[in-house]
């Protein structure tokens, strides 16, 4: 395990994972990436198109539940780190069908931890200090906050409310236990809501942009006063790199940009940006429609990120205003991408391009 050896990324064809792989490899001196992704509906291999022909990126079409495949990959590539993004990630889908969430998020993480444990135990004493297992998680494990409550910090007790949050909380506990029990050098990040380029249009911000441009209603759950702490995805990726480089083994780092906004403010701000950047006959805000609230909908999330800021010198660079503007500009400039993911064309593309198990993009 040398500094030059690869990192194994899981879920690197999804929203945050693909942003992470692209950001990571944008540095010419960065170590190679082996990218394992089963390509669920949420994945989009086209996100990785800029890496075509880049020998530092190896895409592997496979499942984190496939312990044999993971062991093969670890033995072949001898990575110096595993960065684990792969998950079922959409709260609404977890309410409709929790089973896939338990399978991937809990059993999948268990499968990865077991393969990582064997691999780590097989490393030499010189190699061991350089290995890390970084688990990417969410602030939703902490439950919900009242308006007067302080923001979530690393010692806030877990109180997950949705099947998604419960499955992620379970996986966080497994990672913690594999460190305490087996000495696997793990790190955990719990991050607030991300937004930015390449996000699948089922999540609030890309969904609103997509519907606005298509002349469809802009659905607001309940009163729209739910508060989320928004972070631009590139800031999250930088935080993961910082934790990987200098985070303390066994520690959890909360990641957030101190950008608490109600859903209503997010949607009206998006409408204003669209009114400015792509004016239509009437303001996009006329399309706002209130719909029945999600069952058990958490009212407020807020992240106290002082630990990562103080210890690792990380700070979010994008403000809510600059980040949202960049996001809207990206979606307007990449309508073909949006069409691809929403029309199902990308699924055909997946089938014709990813029949082979391992592809160097
Ligand atoms: P996403 O749904 O966009 O991507 C998930 C990726 O994992 C997809 O490419 C999918 O194909 C892959 N995947 C799913 N099951 C798999 C399996 N069994 N084997 C291999 N690959 C599999 O999710 P995202 O928004 O990019 O989130 C990535 C991670 O970050 C998740 O663990 C999520 O819990 C966490 N997170 C997300 C946010 C957010 O706001 N999106 C915030 C904090 C933490």
Verify whether residue 164 is a known catalytic residue: yes
Q: Which of 70, 87, 93, 206 to mutate to test the pocket of ligand 1 (most atoms within 8 A of CB)?
A: 87
Helix (H, G, I), strand (E, B) or coil at 343: helix
Tell me: pLDDT of 297 over 90: no
Q: How does the average pLDDT of the chain come out, rounded? A: 93
Between the alpha carbon of residue 104 and those of residues 10, 110, 160, 178, 188, the distances in Å are 12, 9, 17, 18, 17
Burial label for 330, CB within 10 Å (0-12, 13-18, 19+), is middle
Ligand 1 midpoint to CA 207 (Å): 17
pLDDT band at 356 (very low <50, low <70, confident <90, very high): very low
- Look at ligand 1, atom 1, and give the residue with the nearest C-alpha: 14
- For the chain, domain boundaries: 7-354
Q: What is residue 129's predicted lDDT score, i.e. its pLDDT?
A: 97
Structural fold of domain 7-354: Rossmann fold (3.40.50)
Helix (H, G, I), strand (E, B) or coil at 328: helix
Verify whether residue 139 is a known catalytic residue: yes
- Look at ligand 1, atom 41, and give the residue with the nearest C-alpha: 194
| DSSP secondary structure letters along 96-115 | H-THHHIIIIIIIHHHHHHH
Tell me: pLDDT of 358 over 70: no
Ligand 1 proximal residues by C-beta, below 6 Å: 10-11, 13-17, 36-40, 42-43, 63-65, 85-89, 104, 108, 136-138, 168, 191, 193-194, 200
Percent of the chain exceeding pLDDT 70 equals: 94
User: In ligand 1, which atom is closest to the CA atom of 89?
Assistant: 2
With beta carbons less than 8 A apart as the criterion, state whether 163 and 98 touch: yes
The active-site residue out of 37, 63, 88, 139 is 139
Nearest Cα to 275, choosing from 267, 205, 200? 267
Ligand 1 midpoint to CA 278 (Å): 31
- Look at ligand 1, atom 21, and give the residue with the nearest C-alpha: 37
Mean pLDDT score, 57-61: 97
Q: Where are the beta strands (DSSP E) in 25-162?
A: 33-37, 57-61, 81-84, 132-138
Report helix angle 335-343 to 204-213, nearest 10: 100
Q: What is residue 47's predicted lDDT score, i.e. its pLDDT?
A: 94
- How far is 355 from 123, CA to CA, in rounded Å? 33
With beta carbons less than 8 A apart as the criterion, state whether 134 and 186 touch: yes
Ligand 1 midpoint to CA 148 (Å): 31
130-171 pLDDT, tens digit per residue, is 999 999 999 999 999 999 999 999 999 999 999 999 999 999
Q: What is residue 349's predicted lDDT score, i.e. its pLDDT?
A: 52
- Look at ligand 1, atom 19, and give the residue with the nearest C-alpha: 63
The more confidently predicted of residues 348 and 214 is 214
User: In ligand 1, which atom is closest to the CA atom of 64?
Assistant: 19
Handedness of CA 204, 41, 112, 49 (dihedral sign): negative
The more confidently predicted of residues 274 and 348 is 274
Verify whether residue 140 is a known catalytic residue: yes
Q: Which of 10, 42, 68, 198 to mutate to test the pocket of ligand 1 (most atoms within 8 A of CB)?
A: 42
The active-site residue out of 119, 120, 142, 164 is 164
Q: What is residue 345's predicted lDDT score, i.e. its pLDDT?
A: 59
Q: What is residue 278's predicted lDDT score, i.e. its pLDDT?
A: 97
- Look at ligand 1, atom 27, and give the residue with the nearest C-alpha: 16
Q: Which residues contact 214 (CB under 8 A, 6 or more apart)?
A: none
Burial label for 198, CB within 10 Å (0-12, 13-18, 19+), is buried
Q: What is residue 357's predicted lDDT score, i.e. its pLDDT?
A: 42
Strand partners, 35: 9, 59
Burial label for 27, CB within 10 Å (0-12, 13-18, 19+), is exposed
Ligand 1 midpoint to CA 335 (Å): 23
The model's pTM: 0.94
Ligand 1 midpoint to CA 140 (Å): 14
User: In ligand 1, which atom is closest to the CA atom of 84?
Assistant: 32
């Amino acid at each position: 395990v040398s500094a030059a050896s690869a990192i194994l990324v899981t879920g690197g064809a999804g929203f945050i994972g693909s942003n992470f792989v692209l950001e990571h490899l944008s540095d010419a001196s960065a170590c190679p990436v082996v990218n394992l992704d089963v390509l669920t509906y949420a994945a989009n291999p086209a996100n990785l198109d800029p890496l075509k022909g880049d020998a530092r990126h190896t895409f592997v079409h496979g499942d984190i539940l496939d312990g044999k495949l993971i062991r093969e990959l670890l033995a072949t590539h001898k990575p110096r780190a595993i960065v684990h993004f792969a998950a079922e990630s959409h709260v609404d889908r977890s309410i409709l069908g929790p089973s896939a969430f338990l399978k991937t998020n809990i059993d999948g993480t268990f499968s990865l931890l077991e393969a990582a444990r064997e691999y780590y135990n097989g490393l030499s004493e010189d190699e061991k200090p350089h290995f890390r297992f970084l688990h990417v998680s969410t602030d939703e494990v902490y439950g919900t906050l009242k308006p007067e409550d302080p923001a979530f910090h690393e010692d806030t007790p877990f109180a997950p409310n949705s099947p998604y949050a419960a499955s992620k909380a379970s996986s966080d506990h497994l990672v913690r236990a594999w460190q305490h029990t087996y000495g696997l050098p793990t790190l955990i990040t719990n991050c607030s809501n991300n937004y930015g380029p390449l996000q699948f249009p089922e999540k609030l911000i890309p969904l609103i942009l997509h519907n606005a441009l298509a002349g469809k209603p802009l659905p607001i759950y309940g009163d729209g006063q739910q508060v989320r702490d928004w972070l631009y995805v590139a800031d999250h990726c930088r935080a993961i790199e910082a934790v990987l480089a200098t985070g303390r083994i066994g520690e959890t780092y909360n990641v957030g940009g101190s950008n608490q906004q109600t859903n209503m403010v997010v949607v009206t701000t998006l409408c204003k940006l669209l009114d400015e950047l792509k004016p239509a006959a009437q303001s996009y805000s006329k399309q706002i429609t209130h719909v029945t609230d999600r069952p058990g909908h958490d009212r407020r999330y807020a992240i106290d990120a002082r630990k990562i800021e103080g210890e690792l010198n990380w700070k979010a660079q994008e403000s809510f205003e600059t980040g949202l503007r960049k996001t809207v500009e990206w979606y307007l400039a990449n309508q073909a991408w949006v069409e691809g993911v929403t029309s199902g064309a990308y699924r055909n593309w997946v089938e014709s391009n990813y029949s082979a198990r391992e592809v160097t993009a």
